[in-house]
Amino acid sequence: MKHLLMCWIGLAGLSHAAGLEFEKKLLEIHAPADSPNVTADFKFTNTSDKPVSILKYDAACSCMAVQISGGKLRYGPGESGTVRANFEMGNFSGTVDKAVVLWLEGDPEDKPSQQLTVRVHIPVLVELTPKTLQWDVDGDAKAQTIKIKMNYKTPIHVTSVSGSSEAFTYELKTIAKGKEYELVISPTGTKQPGLGVFRIETDCDLARHKIQQAFAVVRRPLPADAGSTAKP
């Protein structure tokens, strides 16, 4: 029991030594459909009795820029600051998680002690279900369908569809004009692996939602799960 207590005290000391305590390490943002970017502010305080230095910080995606309280990287006991993450939404849609990591003084190069997450909920105005169609090599080349649904206050029309590969044929069907469409895709054969990229253009008045991409893949079958054949 004494040994366990000493271990706990040691771990508690290490946790306290980290110094920076964040109000929240996960921030969720519901972005407007027409917003090109969003900002998340992670507020922190040095709760230790010693100065704490941020050696470096980084974002896991080039779509996000990170700033720290005007460039201040050293905080005395009780001092507070903010990590600001600016996320450029580009063509992202749906729920997107992006991470920011910080190395404090004493952190190993490969183990930053602080990880923050920006979770952005981006409206899906042009919804593709699914975005990728798959066929197995030497499998049935039957047609499959991508459903296109518009989720906007005004109608959105598909104005054109183009494919990148002659290995696939496609047909656009209008189910409800300005609201619902179907893209029917078939491989011309399944003897060889192949990839097709389909560019779907619409008349959406928000530029970043105007063009969507869908994919068609002929792939080799995935190996069977070895665990499924293992004997108990």
**The domain that contains 142 carries what CATH number?**
2.60.40.10
Confidence of residue 224 (pLDDT cuts 50, 70, 90): low
pLDDT at 178: 97
pLDDT at 9: 32
Q: Are residues 75 and 157 in the same domain?
A: no
Q: Return all residues near 141 (Cβ < 8 A) that are at least 6 apart.
A: 135, 186, 187, 188, 189, 190
What is this structure's pTM? 0.70
Q: Is the torsion defined by CA of 15, 16, 21, 24 positive or negative?
A: positive
pLDDT at 231: 45
For residues 123 and 208, is the Cβ–Cβ distance under 8 A?
no
**106 lies in a domain?**
yes
- In the listed set 95, 122, 149, which residue is the last one of a domain according to the structure? 122
For residue 149, pLDDT beyond 80: yes
Q: For residue 54, give the nearest of 40, 42, 41, 71 by alpha carbon.
A: 71
Confidence of residue 222 (pLDDT cuts 50, 70, 90): confident
What digits encode the pLDDT tens for the residues 154-168? 999 999 999 999 999
**209 lies in a domain?**
yes
Total count of domains within the chain:
2
pLDDT at 127: 96
For residue 133, pLDDT beyond 50: yes
- In the listed set 122, 143, 158, which residue is the last one of a domain according to the structure? 122
- In the listed set 105, 122, 139, which residue is the last one of a domain according to the structure? 122
The whole domain housing 167 covers: 126-219
What digits encode the pLDDT tens for the residues 95-130? 999 999 999 998 998 899 999 999 999 999 999 999
Q: For residue 199, give the nearest of 154, 146, 151 by alpha carbon.
A: 146
What digits encode the pLDDT tens for the residues 22-51? 999 999 999 998 888 999 999 999 999 999
**134 lies in a domain?**
yes
**75 lies in a domain?**
yes
